[in-house]
Structure 1
Amino acid sequence: MKEKCSLDKLPLGVTGIVYRVNCNENIKNRIFDFGIMENSPVIPLFTSPFGDPSAYLVKNAVVALRNNDCKDIIVTPE
């Protein structure tokens, strides 16, 4: 079994399967609205020039998330 990591540590282009979202309820609801929930695949595409936010492919849509929010999303790399 591969070792879990936070979404902000997942290398670009590597698919991660969401294991758990550990945010407060307001942030968790916003993240769920993006389609990021347990067992969903997420692929980091690129980071902004200053490193924050980063773009992720989620259910055929590109979403931008702050690194601070990504630290609370635990994924398993594939």
Structure 2
Amino acid sequence: MMLNELANGAHATVDHLSAASPELGEAGLRRLGELGFIPGEPLQLLRRGPGGREPLAVLIGDTLFALRLLEAQCIHVLPICAQPS
């Protein structure tokens, strides 16, 4: 599943990165990794921009990132299911 497919408020773990478009390329993937989008890292998709579009507000640790759709489509995630209380 791609990061952009998560529902607002959903938690997930980064699985891997892959270039969804040649526009982003290896340099873009490297930048995402340097920002903290690395395998095993937990994240939360907080919300989307106006009209459910860009940017996507993503929280990793204590850092909030605003990602373009193109970037979010390169981040493969494993959703974390909420545990019943």
TM tier, shorter chain? 0.7 to 0.9
Whose Rg is larger? 2
What is the DSSP-based 3-state SS (H/G/I as helix, E as strand, rest coil) of the residue aligned with 1:27? Answer: helix
Q: Quote how far apart the aligned CAs of 1:57 are.
A: 0.3
Equivalent position amino acid for 1:18 in 2:
V
After TM superposition, list the pairs within 5 Å mapping 1:51-70 onto structure 2. Answer: 51-70=53-72
Q: Quote how far apart the aligned CAs of 1:47 are.
A: 1.1
Figure out how many residues of one structure are paired with residues of the other and give that number.
Answer: 74
Q: Quote how far apart the aligned CAs of 1:44 are.
A: 0.5
Could you state the TM-score of these two structures normalised by the residue count of structure 1? 0.86
CA distance in 2 between counterparts of 1:22 and 1:15 reads 20
**Contiguous gaps of at least 5 residues in structure 1:** none
CA distance in 1 between counterparts of 2:42 and 2:69 reads 18
CA distance in 1 between counterparts of 2:16 and 2:39 reads 6
Q: Which residue among 5, 20, 32 is the counterpart of 1:9?
A: 5
Contact 1:18–1:75 (CA<8 Å) still a contact in 2?
yes
| Structure 1 or 2: more helix by fraction | 2
CA displacement, residues 3-23 of structure 1 (integer Å, 9 cap, x when unaligned): xx1000011111111111003
CA distance in 1 between counterparts of 2:6 and 2:38 reads 16
| Structure 1 or 2: more strand by fraction | 1
Alignment partner, residue 73 of structure 2: 71
Runs of 4+ in 1 over 4 A off after TM superposition: none
